[in-house]
Amino acid sequence: MPKEQSASYPPLVRVERLTDKDEARIVLVDPATVDESANDDGETVSNYEYYTAYRPWRDTLTDDVAANTVSWLDMLKTEDAAQEATRARSIRDKLLSETDYLVAIDYPIPDKSRSAVIAYRQALRDITDQDGFPYSIQWPDKPDIPKGGDTLYVVIEEMTGEG
């Protein structure tokens, strides 16, 4: 959900035909988010959230959007949330794939580190359950894992009790 600030109250509906295309850009401001305040120079500015969509152009589009602004706004909010959720899941999936090898049963990693990785991976899977998802995500911290020869030494130490 993009946010913007302007020196004047924003238009709630804007439909623009894109040059050389049979496409239109529709920009809708969520009136519930408009907040006027003073900036550092004492000037009144408007802060607000807006949603943008691209649709095929038709001569009645501007009138259709203006007559059904609430429905259009709901539709654009739903589309925006779905796009943000897809982006977040893509990031989550990449982070999971970066730790796949660490949970392989035959990978030499200390039990304490394996448990930390498993907890991290579960926290990644749980991001979709967070309040504010997909716009506000508290990403878990990746645990520190010993690298290379250090890992093998720690595993041998754990297995033999020597060290």
Condensed to tens digits (0 to 9), the pLDDT of residues 13-34 reads 999 999 877 999 999 998 888 8
What is the residue range of 54's domain? 1-89
102 plus 62 within the same structural domain: no
Q: Measured at the alpha carbon of residue 22, what is the angle toward residues 21 and 28, in degrees to the nearest 5?
A: 100
78 plus 117 within the same structural domain: no
106 plus 133 within the same structural domain: yes
* Residues 48/4, Cβ–Cβ less than 8 Å: yes
CA distances in angstroms from 80 to 42, 71, 74, listed in the order given: 33, 14, 10
81 plus 108 within the same structural domain: no
82 plus 105 within the same structural domain: no
* Residues 31/50, Cβ–Cβ less than 8 Å: no
Last residue of a domain, one of 36, 68, 89: 89
Residues in the chain: 163
Q: What is the pTM of this model?
A: 0.72
117 plus 46 within the same structural domain: no
Q: 36: number of CA atoms within 13 Å, CB side? A: 7
49 plus 107 within the same structural domain: no
Q: Tens digit of pLDDT for each residue in 98-149?
A: 999 999 988 988 889 999 999 999 999 999 999 999 999 999 999 988 765 4
Q: Tens digit of pLDDT for each residue in 52-75?
A: 999 999 999 999 999 999 999 999
Question: Is residue 7 very low, low, confident or very high in pLDDT (cuts 50, 70, 90)?
Answer: very low
How is residue 94 written in tokens?
């990449």
Please state the domain count of the chain.
2
> N- to C-terminal Cα distance for the chain?
54
